[in-house]
Amino acid sequence: MQDYYDINDDLGTELLKTTLTGDNNLSGDSPYGVTYTTTEQNKDFEQALWGNYKVIGFLGEEYFGGYNAGNGLYSESFNKNSLSSEQLEKIIVDDDTELTLNKGESIKLKDGLCAVL
């Protein structure tokens, strides 16, 4: 399994654990000796003025977990914690590039996505 690990910020908590019996079979009841765990961690935005947010690794990729209290984006957010709502949201942009866009102009995001203002 490939796990999520951010070498620049030393972030990543995914763990896949297997438990085998003496004859090398998966043991126990459902999930039969296989346990996957991950936890959220704080990550700084690339734009330092924005503070930090919660990030979670899931199946080798980084996902947004929510804004942290005290962050200006937290008070503006409709959903304070995506994970408590059982949502996984892909992070599509986090950099410190400054742009000036006019209404109707678009910006390219990761994975071929595009946002229009």
Q: For residue range 10-44, what is the model confidence (pLDDT) as tens digits? A: 788 888 888 887 788 787 777 778 888 888 888 88
Residue range(s) defining the domain that contains residue 63:
15-116
Question: How many domains does the chain fold into?
Answer: 1
Strands 34-37 and 41-44: unpaired
Residue 81 domain flag = yes
**DSSP one-letter code for 12:** -
**Separation CA 9–CA 12 (nearest Å):** 9
* Bridge partners for 34 per DSSP: 18
Residue 6 domain flag = no
Nearest-CA neighbor of 91 among 37, 39, 54? 54
Residue 52 domain flag = yes
Residue 88 domain flag = yes
- Both tokens of 51, joined, read 């503070």
Residue 94 domain flag = yes
**Considering just the CA atoms, what is the radius of gyration of the chain in Å?**
18
Express each pLDDT in 35-74 by its tens digit: 888 888 888 888 777 788 888 888 888 888 888 777 767 7
Residue 90 domain flag = yes
Report the pLDDT value the prediction gives residue 112, as an integer from 0 to 100. Answer: 66
